[in-house]
Amino acid sequence: MRDALAIREFSDDLAVHFRDINAEWINAMFRLEATDRDVLKNPRARIIDAGGVILFVEAGGLGIVGACALQKTGATSYELTKMGVREPARGMKAGEFLLAAIIERANSLGADPLYLLTNTRCAAAIHLYEKLGFRHDAEIMARYGARYERCDVAMRYHAEALR
């Protein structure tokens, strides 16, 4: 199945997919917060032009099915954020493929720390994050967790966790 998956870089014509994919899952589980609306409405200004990255996963026959961003939050710190996969692509490992690509990009940027903020209701995503090297981290929670009302899980990437 992975043969049918490809990574695409951000372009302004794909911004609508970034907005729609993320608004869909956030609204299904939570509610869009002001920070969500700002980033989803202005991905070039809030992520790309600020030194971050947005990648998409495209599935053969389905088009763009997932999106994920690295938002620069400090000199070397990056938040893995706004990761979502459309319902029709679930089970194709599109999320794992996309997550591996965004981690690789973060490593190439020297991300330290690479972290994410999420919620316990996102159990499947948390399992995937753990599988690819993220670990729960109280320091990350204390430092960045207040960014979202819904945040009750903070994780930091540890490459050595994969060895």
pLDDT at 60 over 60: yes
Supply the pLDDT for residue 162: 61
Supply the pLDDT for residue 97: 97
Instruction: Name the average pLDDT for the chain.
Output: 93
Domain count within the chain: 1
Considering the entire predicted model, what is its pTM? 0.93
Within 8 A by CB and 6+ apart from 160, the residues are: none
Query: What whole-number percentage of the chain has pLDDT above 90?
Result: 79
Domain of 142, in residue numbers:
2-162
pLDDT tens per residue, range 88-127: 898 899 999 999 999 999 999 999 999 999 999 999 999 9
Q: How far is CA 7 from CA 61, 63, 102, 149, in A?
A: 15, 11, 10, 31
User: What average pLDDT does range 47-61 have in this prediction?
Assistant: 96
CATH number of the structural domain spanning residue 68? 3.40.630.30
Within 8 A by CB and 6+ apart from 111, the residues are: 70, 76, 77, 78, 157
